[in-house]
Structure 1
Amino acid sequence: MRGAGGGRAARALLAAALALAIGACGTSEAEPTALPTFPSATESGPATTAAEDGRVIPADCGRILATPDLEAVMGLPLGSVTVRTTIGVPQPAVGRTERVTCRYTRVGDGGGRALLDVNATAYRDAAAASAQWQVNVRAESGERRDLPLGSAPGALFEKRGQAVLMVAHSTSNLTLVLPDQPLPGGKTRADALVDLALRVLPAVSVDQASAPPPPPPPGEPMSQAGSSR
């Protein structure tokens, strides 16, 4: 009986040792073969919005106007458009705090002829944005037509070879330059520019109605609600 009991105990110990060895081998083999994973553009995009990184205008033109949106408006094949982002510098003399320019071209053109140029700028306040928009409008050449987008003033300039749409909204200005090219469905240049501007404006401007009210000027009494705190 002792021999049988001792044999069973030995077999149990051996089985336990084998289980531990197999488990250890499985762990050591799994770690080197694990592959790193990275968030996709769609997963990482919402985590880096312009508001979250302290900017009004996104520092990535893909978040200003995604290439599939331009392809849809222009009737181009999916994946046929690429974009280049250029970050400008502030210009305190006119109250400009941000500038981002975007050039959209066909894939494989090596940055050649543009399909669309976007120039988005942000200013310290709406007054500075409006003043600079008026300066830019007066300096632009071509046949002018007022083309407001809702409450946002806009001016369309049609000239040989291209059309330009300038829009002022809140503390931001937006300029779209559309070179002459075939447009789908009988669209005019103005139709395409308005469609594009309506897609871009929400990405490059802030809604002042949702912003907190500015503090009262020095010497003025605070509101009753403020004084009670």
Structure 2
Amino acid sequence: MRWLPCCVLVVVMAAGCTTRQPPPPAPPVPTFSGSPAPTPRAERTVPRLCHEVVQGEEVESIIGNGVSGVPAAVVGVPEPAIGRTTRIDCYYGVPTGAPSTAATLTITLAGYTDAATAAYRVGYTMDGERAKGGQVVAARAGLDPATPVFAGKSTLIAAHGRTTVVVEAAPELVPPDRAADLLGRIADRALTPR
């Protein structure tokens, strides 16, 4: 009979040791600001209208500045000798009465017979810009590598599959120190199917 009170005592002590405390509050979930991560895109076909390439409002939103002047477009023709199947040149910010070449921003999309030809044309265009004295740095157009070249106008060149994009901006519209980022974002939008 002597061991019975000890057992009761042990049970009472164990019950006293299992009193539960509320769990500590969960730490806050961190948030991150900035642009969302780029996502893979489908193959881009070259449209026949510039508002299907990049709309003027999208350009203004990306660069954070208004683009004064009128838009203009030139639809190119196939050039089998270089493997080009289609092309469109979109001019934004053309002063009234001026030729389209006076635009403050130009976006050119071109389609080629295959991805290897498109990649070759990117290299060819980049070499031409370098020959004019352009300074080449690394950049991205979404997930695709891009090459900005700075000589007079800032130029960014990229390809996605069989489609190439060239974006040129005047320094008064896109400052050279921000060109790699801003032109990369414009090129990403131009290469993304609607």
- The alignment's TM-score, normalised by the length of structure 1, stands at 0.57
Counterpart in the other structure of 1:173: 164
Give the conservation status (yes or no) of the 8 Å contact 2:126–2:149.
no
Correspondence list, 1:25-44, <5 A = none
Counterpart in the other structure of 1:75: 64
In the alignment, the residues of structure 2 paired with residue 168 and residue 140 of structure 1 have an alpha-carbon distance, to the nearest angstrom, of 16
Query: Which letter does structure 2 place at the counterpart of 1:157?
Result: V
Give the conservation status (yes or no) of the 8 Å contact 2:140–2:147.
yes
In the alignment, the residues of structure 2 paired with residue 194 and residue 131 of structure 1 have an alpha-carbon distance, to the nearest angstrom, of 19
**RMSD, matched Cα:** 2.7
In the alignment of these two chains, the number of paired residues is 147
Higher relative contact order structure (alpha carbons within 8 Å, sequence separation ≥ 6): 2
Larger proportion of strand: 2
In the alignment, the residues of structure 2 paired with residue 65 and residue 87 of structure 1 have an alpha-carbon distance, to the nearest angstrom, of 15
Counterpart in the other structure of 2:96: 109
In the alignment, the residues of structure 2 paired with residue 149 and residue 168 of structure 1 have an alpha-carbon distance, to the nearest angstrom, of 9
Unmatched 5+ residue regions in structure 1? 1-50, 205-229
Query: Which letter does structure 2 place at the counterpart of 1:134?
Result: G
Counterpart in the other structure of 1:163: 154
Change (3 A) 1:77 1:133: closer
Identity of aligned residues (%): 27
Larger proportion of helix: 1
Correspondence list, 1:57-96, <5 A = 57-77=46-66, 80=68, 82-96=70-84
Q: CA deviation at 1:123?
A: 0.5
Unmatched 5+ residue regions in structure 2? 1-42
Query: Which letter does structure 1 place at the counterpart of 2:172?
Result: Q
Q: CA deviation at 1:194?
A: 1.4
Query: Which letter does structure 2 place at the counterpart of 1:110?
Result: G
In the alignment, the residues of structure 1 paired with residue 146 and residue 47 of structure 2 have an alpha-carbon distance, to the nearest angstrom, of 22
Q: CA deviation at 1:183?
A: 5.0
Give the conservation status (yes or no) of the 8 Å contact 1:67–1:81.
no
- The alignment's TM-score, normalised by the length of structure 2, stands at 0.66
Change (3 A) 1:123 1:63: same
Counterpart in the other structure of 2:111: 122
